[in-house]
Structure 1
Amino acid sequence: MPSSLHGLIQVIYQGDSRFILVSREDLIGWTLDLGLVGSARRKWWRSVKQLDEVKELIDYIISGIAGGQLYIKGWKGDEIEELELAIYPASDNPLSFSLNAYTTGESEKLAEEILFEIGSQLRHHGSRFIPLTSTKNMDNSSDTEKDASEEITQLRTDLAKSQEKVGTTQAALARFAPPKRVASSLPKLPKNLSKGNPLGKKRTIEQMEFESDSEDERKDQGSSSSGLPK
């Protein structure tokens, strides 16, 4: 009776290389097959274990393969004959399995066998790699489109409200803005006016007369002599 390790398939991307990992179980035990995709020649590697060796780790292995927690150590090109597959490589408890290369003939035969097995399994799932959308989902497609249309309408309404709030906020801020600078109402002065007399008013010079000290003395002497008796 096949265990849950049978029929697991995962794709591994490592650098520019692509691999397919297939977990199988048969009378021999548990086999991991690793195939290189896109190579000039078919290249596969394998690791064979007895089920008793991994029976305590089955759930851990399944979750690692299904979750894509995989890394291929020692990969340098399709000429490499021995590789190592790490499951949960970044964890505290990584698992490692040595992989040995198939011969060219074995690789071609294995590829055909795996493809046949996949086809046999898909017979129970409508013979399709990707199942068609169920009738229920197709019937609900109009409801989905309606929901999307309503969501778009709601987003537009929210956007309009947000723009209105922005306008109101800007108007409120304008009330507290500093007053605008008003241009001076003073007339502009002609460029040819003197800087010392910018308004161009006519200057008037008044002549002032001053009496000398000699004239004042003569007046004083005259007044004093006329007031005294001879």
Structure 2
Amino acid sequence: MSGDIFVNFSALDELIQIIYQSIYKFVIVSTVTDEKWTIHLGLSDSDGRWWKGEWTEGNVHEIMGSKPSDKLLEQFGDQLAKLFVDGELFITNWSSAPGAKIKLTVGPAAKRPMHMSLEELTPSQAAEFATGILVDIALQAKSRKCRLHGSTSVFESTPAPTTSRVPTRSDTVEGSSRSSPAKASMQLKTEEGSHVGSSSGPGEKPIKPSHLETVAMQAKSVTSATDKKRAASSETTTSNKPAPVARPFKGASLANPNKKARKYQAIEFESDSE
């Protein structure tokens, strides 16, 4: 089984997590190869310090026995990965002093927590590892158009929003009331009749008019106002019409038709026989 143990630890490969402990903040990176499970722990401060720890086959045999089955190994690896993702991590014997013997504890609240000893890296080793992490991030960013964060869906072109709107029932009612006020008034009467049949009993709140009733009432008032304007316009036209010219009396002066006509008496002549 030598060399096949860590095949069952694939769930622990390429994991990263943040640990907040006291006033300190750590970043922890988990990787798995065919020979070992490796942990890198970085302290977020101005010094950029890193620690490293690893499990080999001997460490696994101490916990699982000399001949664990693949199924048990896979279950064990999955449990460790779940604790890692859930943030069940703790730095035991933490000290910022150089050379301190610290440990990573996985599942500190579990019945059987797992421990891994950590040793501090030299500045050059720490820089080498940090650079390798940045290279991996840059390679992954190629699928995001070299963006450090975000997904590719953010950069896809989206169709322009359309300004068309589906007509609603209120639009239809308003349009019909504008085109035919009498029809809207008839609809109001019909709905009023239906409301009378289902009127509320004494003590109940009166039913508020619906939007259709309000529109019809407005249309009716507009029609009444229009009729009044037409009637007023008709009266104004009648009053402005010139009065008929009276025919002059017979014998009246043409220069002044209102002047009273003169009366003439016929001249009588005496007969020659007298």
**TM-score, normalising length: structure 1:** 0.52
1:30/1:51 contact within 8 Å kept: no
Tell me how far apart the structure 1 counterparts of residues 144 and 37 of structure 2 sit (CA, whole Å). 25
Tell me how far apart the structure 2 counterparts of residues 134 and 78 of structure 1 sit (CA, whole Å). 46
Correspondence for 2:14 among 1, 7, 11: 7
> Counterparts in 2 of 1:100-139, with a 5 A limit?
100-132=119-151, 134=153
What is aligned with 1:82? 101
Cα offset, 1:132, TM superposition: 4.6
Change (3 A) 1:97 1:115: same
RMSD: 3.0
Deviation sequence 1:206-225 (CA, Å, 0-9, x none):
xxxxxxxxxxxxxxxxxxxx
Correspondence for 1:20 among 19, 22, 27: 27
Sequence identity (%): 29
1:32/1:48 contact within 8 Å kept: yes
Secondary structure at the aligned position of 2:11 is classed as coil
Secondary structure at the aligned position of 2:112 is classed as coil
2:95/2:102 contact within 8 Å kept: no
Correspondence for 1:50 among 49, 56, 62: 56
Cα offset, 1:28, TM superposition: 4.0
Cα offset, 1:71, TM superposition: 0.5
**Corresponding position: 1:30 with 2:37:** yes
- The amino acid that maps onto 1:48 is E
> Counterparts in 2 of 1:1-230, with a 5 A limit?
3-39=10-46, 41-50=47-56, 53=60, 55-56=73-74, 57-132=76-151, 134=153
Tell me how far apart the structure 2 counterparts of residues 69 and 134 of structure 1 sit (CA, whole Å). 32
Change (3 A) 1:133 1:112: closer
Tell me how far apart the structure 1 counterparts of residues 23 and 136 of structure 2 sit (CA, whole Å). 28
1:43/1:78 contact within 8 Å kept: no
Change (3 A) 1:16 1:29: same
1:75/1:83 contact within 8 Å kept: yes
- The amino acid that maps onto 2:142 is R
Deviation sequence 1:13-61 (CA, Å, 0-9, x none):
111111110011235421110111123x221111122268284521111
Higher strand share: 1
Tell me how far apart the structure 2 counterparts of residues 98 and 51 of structure 1 sit (CA, whole Å). 15
1:20/1:34 contact within 8 Å kept: yes
Secondary structure at the aligned position of 2:111 is classed as coil
Tell me how far apart the structure 1 counterparts of residues 144 and 55 of structure 2 sit (CA, whole Å). 30
